[in-house]
Amino acid sequence: MLFERLKQQLAEREQAHCYRRRRIMSSPQGVKVSINGRDYLNFCSNDYLGLASHPALKKSFQQAVDRYGVGSGSAHLINGHSFEHHALEEELAAFTGRQRALLFSTGYMANLGVIATLLERGDTLFADRLNHASLIDAGILSRARMQRYAHSDMTALAEKLGQCSKGEKLIVSDGVFSMDGDLAPVVEMAQLADKYDALLMIDDAHGLGVLGQHGAGTLEQAGLDAQAAPVLMGTLGKALGTFGAFVAGDELLIEALINQARSYVYTTALPPAVAAATRSSLQLLQTESWRRETLAKRVAYWKQAAAQLQLPLMPSDTAIQPLLLGGSEKAVRLSQKLDEQGFLISAIRPPTVPKDQARLRITLCAEHEQADLDRLLEALDKLVNRNSLDD
Ligand SMILES: *Cc1c(COP(=O)(O)O)cnc(C)c1O
């Protein structure tokens, strides 16, 4: 019986300290949050710039609700495509330096849509081993052959590209790896794509808004243009503080997606108010670079201070600063101890990360004060370095 199997799978998860439970938030997203009536200092949000509850976003959202109502009513190709969606697409295209952009309801769906539209059976998808789950699922859905190369290993990628003799080739990678925080070697990837006649796609969920002089992300920071990396996926639910995602690229790509991407065609459009709020956030991001600068300062301070305490930092220069712990039980215990002291940081365990690489995924935000970082550093020093984890 199917339910028997589920029961057994859940029991196995529990035993391996990998069972997941949700916490119920009763406050807005931010650096200080409230859960079950308790206040926390939040170190696990992807709201890197503190825009999710920004007054300007709330105001555009509310005004758009007054004007357009709540639901979009149908898919983009029926009559759900509003003025706000269209204006946001044009602004995202300009922001990322591309001909066009196309909104999707989530990043997960954007990845499914673009990869399944580009690839068919007989083609090959070259994917970093640590790519986001949605990119892996997209590869499976496309029916292309999947070649996963060791994390950021360009020699391995070149070898696999060299061995591929038939069909079309797509290389796909996170720009900033979501559970590790390190950057993909995008310049080398673009060179390999060029050399082996492959197309390069970057999923910049954690770089967009945060990296690059204007916040246009990993590719801007690396100095790569639309020709070097023709397919860009960005999400709106992280640094941009709202919800949804987009794919940016040439006219041809976007027209193909509008016509063929099943996760675009067969789903209801985002509420227009979400698009309106995102337009505000995109504007703030471009006019107020101080959030990015503050965040970069916090990251530099954190890395230096955590290294001094010899905390098990992973090699990252971004807002994602995981501490590698190894076993799931240890990660869960540390997360619980921190919870007791008012710090909200989730333990990331397999299958989200490889076996024996459980970690605390600490994320820094522009709204964190240096004193907030000091408080967490002091708690971690006691818990990790002085072995008070077992008390
Ligand atoms: C969050 C994330 C996604 C999914 O985006 P959603 O809009 O949350 O569905 C895709 N790729 C990466 C790398 C992500 O971190």
Average pLDDT value over all residues in the chain: 96
Distance 65 CA to ligand 1 centre (A): 26
> Pocket residues for ligand 1 (CB within 6 Å)?
106-108, 111, 132, 134, 174, 178, 203, 205-206, 235, 237, 245
| Residue-wise pLDDT tens digits, 47-78 | 999 999 999 999 999 999 999 999 999 999 99
| Residue-wise pLDDT tens digits, 332-343 | 999 999 999 999
C-alpha 264/C-alpha 245 separation (Å) is: 11
Percent residues over pLDDT 70 in the chain: 99
Closest residue by CA, ligand 1 atom 1: 205
Domain with CATH 3.90.1150.10 in the chain: 22-53+289-385
C-alpha 187/C-alpha 193 separation (Å) is: 10
Closest residue by CA, ligand 1 atom 4: 107
Could you name the CATH architecture of 55-287?
3-Layer(aba) Sandwich (3.40)
C-alpha 130/C-alpha 154 separation (Å) is: 14
Average pLDDT over residues 286-312: 97
- Contacts of 310 by beta carbon, 8 Å cutoff, 6+ apart: 385
pLDDT of 387 > 80? The answer is no
pLDDT of 4 > 70? The answer is yes
Distance 172 CA to ligand 1 centre (A): 14
Distance 367 CA to ligand 1 centre (A): 22
pLDDT of 391 > 60? The answer is no
Whether domain 22-53+289-385 has CATH 3.90.1150.10: the reply is yes
Look up residue 284 and give its amino acid: L
Residue to mutate, 108, 174, 182, ligand 1, most ligand atoms under 8 Å from C-beta: 108
Residue to mutate, 178, 211, 264, ligand 1, most ligand atoms under 8 Å from C-beta: 178
Closest residue by CA, ligand 1 atom 6: 107
pLDDT (0 to 100) of residue 388: 66
**CA dihedral (297, 302, 303, 307) positive or negative:** positive
pLDDT (0 to 100) of residue 390: 62
User: From edge to edge, which strands make up the β-sheet containing 347-348?
Assistant: 323-326, 358-360, 347-348
Closest residue by CA, ligand 1 atom 14: 205
DSSP assignment letter at 183: B
pLDDT (0 to 100) of residue 180: 96
**CA dihedral (223, 226, 229, 233) positive or negative:** positive
The atom of ligand 1 lying closest to the CA of 176 is 13
Domain with CATH 3.40.640.10 in the chain: 55-287
Long-range contacts of 148-155 (CB under 8 A, 24+ apart): 151/177, 151/180, 152/128, 152/182, 152/184, 152/185, 154/185, 154/188, 154/189, 154/192
Judge if the upstream peptide bond of residue 272 is cis by omega within 30 degrees of 0: no
Please give the C-alpha separations between residue 196 and each of 166, 192, 193, in angstroms, as whole numbers.
Answer: 12, 6, 5
The atom of ligand 1 lying closest to the CA of 238 is 1
Distance 264 CA to ligand 1 centre (A): 16
Residue to mutate, 115, 132, 179, ligand 1, most ligand atoms under 8 Å from C-beta: 132
Which residue, 267, 236, 229, 264, is CA-closest to 110? 264
Residue with tokens 């591929």: 164
Distance 320 CA to ligand 1 centre (A): 14
Please give the C-alpha separations between residue 81 and each of 73, 91, 99, 108, in angstroms, as whole numbers.
Answer: 9, 16, 19, 20
pLDDT (0 to 100) of residue 386: 83
Distance 14 CA to ligand 1 centre (A): 26
Tokens of 387: 């072995």
Residue to mutate, 45, 179, 203, ligand 1, most ligand atoms under 8 Å from C-beta: 203
Q: pTM for this structure?
A: 0.96
Distance 75 CA to ligand 1 centre (A): 21
Distance 110 CA to ligand 1 centre (A): 9
The atom of ligand 1 lying closest to the CA of 236 is 7
| Residue-wise pLDDT tens digits, 127-147 | 999 999 999 999 999 999 999
Tokens of 251: 């006219």
